[in-house]
Chains A and B, each alone.
Chain A
């Protein structure tokens, strides 16, 4: 019995090149991460400088007006800074590019480099698909590398219209981590799919699942920032010092919450579709549409948590930080489903190639 003619042969050389490019992309993303982090640190510093200049001007004004300066310098400084800057986010709530926000050369370099990394990454993903003559999401290596590509691509595309560079270090960090996981944790040479995965549903079910996860990742980052911003605003309102001035390149908590909500609604519809498509596929492949396999359990848990999140947003008293926590928990469940469940839990999905 030979398999000539059953499935098109694998191009192993191309597959090896693909893996090399994947590694290269991971390294460039790592550099991008560092540059984005530098940008935040620099912003932190330049904003402090701007603040102290403003403070000096204020003090001169006060002195020339004959005020008693120097008796309570600290509180006065805090007050002055607040008077000038509270609510004046460098990135507006609509997250559009403005003159003020455009002046970030470091962040610009990071974005350009990230496009380069994404180009390498995209090349690696596509050549993997060509080498295998199928969609490149049949095992853990491929889920991670293709998923990471989608995260990066969605982010870069949104960047064209919206100034989300404040999330740059999170996204590039996440993508680097996913690619390291793929190339170091689960290196898998190109191969054919096992029979259970040979179905058109793999194209639909997995791609939408990965896309939904990428969206959840982005809204997760926004909800985390929302919580930080919320705490910071409360501190400022209480007259305390601004410990995190770089959060001024991040929009206000309310804007983050609304934006994350919009992304989550799209993610949730996609996840619903993923679960339904998975059930249809399972009916054909495993003889039952639902069997509480660990992967099914966690997909259900994720779905219910995000449904809870949507209800929370619609319930008085549960908006703001509380619903943000639900979205964060939802994404942690997505990560758990993608890592721990795939690796350690025994189930029908296990053959997905660990």
Chain B
């Protein structure tokens, strides 16, 4: 399909062509098959670093950590956009060039094929016997059903047409014949495939721009209302106006996990996560009870809601040194392992006279290991305990820099409780209260709830992408598995004997040409009284 030879002088003297000439030369090069091949292979290579280095999109914390650990290589890698490979300049350049090349390739092929569809099958060769699948049969005269010439041609025409060939009758100096060709859908399939690929890319771009994605943690009993303020993190597409968020609401009534309790080898493996929720499609709609599970997102108009994580949220009350309640409510803890040993951090900036900070672990089923450390023995909350250190002082929240809620910056704080101090660490069971040393206040572990982490997104590109992918798959299969063949059937007069001869020619790879020849043979034998055959089977490929 490559048509590089238009500028036959070749590559050496491109500048001499003038501006338009150079542009045309570049265009010809870009849309040539070797360039497409090169760009494809380049794309494969360029995609690899994204699997080696952490990517900001998916994993910003890992990127930060990587940069901390690799102080020399890190910044250089960052400069070359190795942490955002798939939106990098170089990766984009490759696929945009590839798709430009694709467009440049498709347009002339569509034109050419449109013409081919209107072109009759080619002229019957003078000497059919030279073709790879050839055979010749004498027509037995004198039988009751012996056809005349006209009839043979008519029959051949009909038979080949029925087998999906495009047929044409011919009458020339060497006699009457039928020319047939099939497999035009091959190129149509190929074009459908390539065009659908562009459809996929375009839908992904448009869908991403018009949609949004966000995350939110919801504790049992809480309600998430789909509005900008409700999100923990929110990324709108460039064409999305956050004022247009559809105001649906999701309330988490209860979250259940089933763990494997029977298997010895997989004891404690989660088997099922179910969030029992109430959904209101709009503020004045009736709430509807639904189940949200992994693999079964909530499909709400204007947003899909996915269950992507879960954990425990201890309900805490903190009183400060003045005896006022300065924190009250659930605090999300992050599970670290399969028994839900969970990292717990609580910052209490409202505490007076000094701010308070807590940090440690939640153990759903607390046990003590041989070193006297608390560990969790089970993912379910059978004997929940909080093991905490406490600090007082300045949480460092006032300087305006955004902080990670799950990291306590103790630089400007004094420890109050820890294993190394006389006061020791804090160990709290549900319902217990601990009085902080030096009258700094108290902390109460009121209750234990579960939370779910939700992804909420809307992407109008999903459906078109699905449709284009399906079309691409169909086009691909059609283009790879449709054989292109030509058949000619011809009447021959020799020494007063009449015979028919026919030949098949494959265009491109066609391992089944021989079988098609045998099939035609059978049909012809049935249609006309033919003498036994005299065949010539050559190479399979034409």
Contact = CB atoms under 8 A, between A and B. Distances in A.
Given A195-B270, A289-B465, A261 B58 contact: no
B203 to A, nearest CB: 11
Interface stretch (B112-120, B239-247, B471-479): B471-479
B273 to A, nearest CB: 5
B306 A287 contact: yes
A276 B256 CA distance: 32
B266 A189 contact: yes
B455 interface: yes
B33 A311 contact: yes
Interface of B: 1-2, 33-34, 36-37, 40-41, 43-44, 47-48, 50-51, 55, 57-58, 85-86, 204, 213, 256-266, 269-273, 293-297, 304, 306, 308, 380, 455, 457, 462, 465-466, 469-470, 472-473, 476-477, 480-481, 509, 511
Interface of A: 1-3, 6-7, 9-10, 12, 188-192, 194-196, 198-199, 258, 261-262, 265, 268-269, 272-273, 276, 279-280, 283-294, 297-298, 300-301, 304-305, 307-308, 310-312, 314-316, 318, 326, 341, 345
B82 to A, nearest CB: 13
Given A304-B44, A305-B41, A189 B263 contact: yes
B50 A292 contact: yes
Contacts of B258: 1, 3, 6
Given A280-B466, A289-B465, A311-B40, 4 more contacts: A12-B265, A195-B293, A276-B469, A288-B457
A301 B48 contact: yes
Nearest to B508: A314
B395 to A, nearest CB: 32
Nearest to B267: A191
A196 B295 contact: yes
A195 B262 contact: no
Contacts of A285: 294-295
Interface centre among A7, A280, A289 (most CB of B within 10 A): A289
30 contacts: A1-B259, A3-B271, A7-B271, A10-B263, A188-B265, A189-B263, A191-B260, A191-B265, A192-B266, A195-B272, A195-B273, A195-B294, A196-B294, A262-B509, A272-B472, A286-B306, A287-B306, A287-B455, A288-B457, A289-B462, A289-B465, A291-B57, A292-B51, A294-B51, A301-B47, A301-B48, A304-B47, A305-B41, A315-B33, A316-B2
A341 B50 CA distance: 12
Contact of B51 (A287, A297, A311, A318): A297
Contacts of B47: 297, 300-301, 304
Contact of A318 (B37, B294, B304): B37
B260 A308 contact: no
Nearest to B380: A1
B58 A191 contact: no
Nearest to B264: A12
Contacts of A280: 466
Given A195-B271, A196-B294, A9 B262 contact: yes
Contacts of A276: 469-470, 473
Contact of B469 (A258, A279, A310): A279
B85 to A, nearest CB: 8
Chain A interface main SS type: helix
Contacts of A284: 295-297, 306
B462 A287 contact: no
A196 B294 CA distance: 6
Given A258-B511, A286-B308, A314-B33, A3 B469 contact: no
Given A9-B262, A311-B36, A318-B37, A262 B511 contact: yes
A261 B455 CA distance: 43
Nearest to A261: B509
Contacts of B272: 3, 6-7, 195, 198
Nearest to B204: A290
A198 B55 contact: no
B37 A308 contact: yes
A189 B457 CA distance: 38
A109 B272 CA distance: 49
B269 A191 contact: yes
A10 B262 contact: yes
Nearest to B4: A316
Nearest to A315: B33
A2 B33 CA distance: 61
Contacts of B261: 2-3
Given A7-B271, A311-B36, A316-B2, A292 B55 contact: yes
Given A1-B256, A289-B465, A192 B271 contact: yes
Contact of B480 (A9, A194, A268): A268
Contacts of A289: 462, 465
A140 to B, nearest CB: 15
Contacts of B264: 12, 189
B325 to A, nearest CB: 34
Interface centre among B1, B48, B270 (most CB of A within 10 A): B48
A310 B294 CA distance: 38
A292 B204 CA distance: 14
Contacts of B86: 292
Contacts of A290: 204
